[in-house]
Amino acid sequence: MPKEGIHPQWYPDARVFCEGKEVMRVGSTKPEIHVEVWSGNHPFYTGTQKIIDTEGRVDRFLRKYGILGKDNKDKDKEKKENKEQ
């Protein structure tokens, strides 16, 4: 047992709320925890994360370090030519 009077109150069944809804129960030193983001609505964990490639930066990086092969370079040129037309 911990010493009396030096540790905070422990709540083994604290409720976690996100957007007004209870999403889980955890152990905590607070009886209720209100969060804005949790694994159930975060884009990384839900698979809805989108990587936006503005101005071909990813392709430029891959070409710079030789990660893209010649086949991919040819495809990139074709894409640029098609956009211009």
Q: Where are the domains of the chain?
A: 7-48, 51-85
Predicted local confidence at residue 16, as pLDDT: 95
> Buried (b) or exposed (e) across 25-35, using 16+ Cβ within 10 A?
eeebeeeebee
Between 11 and 82, residue with greater pLDDT: 11
Topology adopted by domain 7-48? Rhinovirus 14, subunit 4 (4.10.80)
When pLDDT is cut at 50, 70 and 90, the band that residue 64 belongs to is confident
pTM of the model: 0.50
Distance CA 51, CA 31 (A): 37
Predicted local confidence at residue 66, as pLDDT: 82
Q: Angle 57-64/70-84 helices, nearest 10 degrees? A: 150
Model pLDDT for residues 2-24, shown as the tens digit of each residue: 688 898 999 999 999 999 999 99
